Copies of this chain bind each other. A is one copy, B any other.
Amino acid sequence: MPDLWSARPTPYAAVDLDVLETNIARMAASATTRGLSLRPHVKTHKCLEIARRQVAAGATGITVATVAEAEVFVEAGFPDLFIAYPVWVDAARGARLRALAGRAALLIGVDSVEGARMLARHAGHDTVDVLVEVDSGHHRTGVAPARAGQLAAAATDAGLHVRGVFTFPGHSYSPGQAEVAAGDEAAALRTAADAVRAIGLEPDVVSGGSTPSASSTDGDVLTEMRPGVYVFNDAQQVELGSCSPAQVALTAYATVVSRRANRIVLDAGSKVLGADRPTWTTGFGRLPDHLDAVVVAMSEHHATVTFPAGVLTPELGELVRIMPNHVCTLVNLADELVVVRQGRAVERWAVAARGANT
């Protein structure tokens, strides 16, 4: 291990800067090729240094999930943010949004008439502009695409400025579904944009995107995409086929603390890696340097890993890298990331928006 960080106590998260920068450049080029604006979701990394690199590579703005994340990134000088969430704006949140207005251009999601009215009432009419959220098949938030016009009209009646429509095609997170989800996304957004036009508004933002479906995002229908995970990638993306193990930029470093036959236990568990485990994944993460190993169990401070019979397993005390299934939840558990270039630790980045959930 490089001398600068060999004594760092495990577990910790480290970012390979070369891989990160390549991931950022690749997605930027992919968006440009299709004439799409790129507004990456920064909930994945929560780091100012990474968002700055994304903007330097051409991102037209950033996406956040919460008002608290917006506060962190506006404070750091980011001028253009979309809170891609149907925020319930009570008096307190309205005051917080007003405190951000004038310092940055803000967009926010709405998926109900009541939510739009709360926003107008507590944040005012000129604090934030609005995108109507539609459900393109993930069945989480968002109205049916054909109802986007009706909701846009209600938001307009409430005094809000409706700029367009957005969706999250989250059903791309299933093996073999990325292209299907991108198709659903384009169809839903086309219907929604037409429904908004039918009430006399021209949508200038038609926004979608997810990391698994990014390469299939339809540049004819959408104006912008908002992938997040692509900066780091993770075991889910590897298993979905959206990246190779070598394109994973963030891993946790853990120590082998127990070892029997073909099984080892690492000192990184759900309190470091997160416990995300979609049913279709092979386990609770992957080891990039041992792709034949399976992370069969995870508890708070243990990852149990099995190896095929006959394979030499890592020794007690050995450092082993592990990719989480879902890198966004790993990052939210870390106070800082070690930044590595060519095997040497060169920096540490604060996870500036860790825990910014409100």
Chain A residues proximal to chain B, CB less than 8 Å: 7, 9-12, 43, 65-68, 85-88, 90-93, 111-112, 114-115, 118, 139-142, 170, 255-259, 265, 267-268, 270-272, 274-277, 297, 299-302, 304, 316-317, 326, 328-329, 332-335, 355, 357-358
Contact = CB atoms under 8 A, between A and B. Distances in A.
A111 to B, nearest CB: 5
Contacts of A355: 271, 333-335
Nearest to A302: B140
Nearest to A355: B335
A302 B259 CA distance: 38
The interface residues of chain A, by DSSP majority, are classed as loop
A328 B316 contact: no
A7 B122 CA distance: 14
A10 B258 contact: no
A304 B357 contact: no
11 contacts: A7-B91, A9-B92, A9-B358, A11-B358, A86-B258, A114-B316, A115-B257, A118-B317, A141-B257, A270-B276, A271-B332
Contacts of A304: 139-140
Q: How often does this chain occur in the complex, in copies?
A: 2
A137 B299 CA distance: 15
A63 to B, nearest CB: 12
A301 B65 contact: yes
Nearest to A297: B140
Contacts of A272: 357
A66 B268 CA distance: 11
Nearest to A141: B258
A123 to B, nearest CB: 14
Contacts of A90: 7, 317
A301 B66 contact: yes
Contacts of A317: 88, 90, 114, 118
Contacts of A302: 140-141
A209 to B, nearest CB: 15
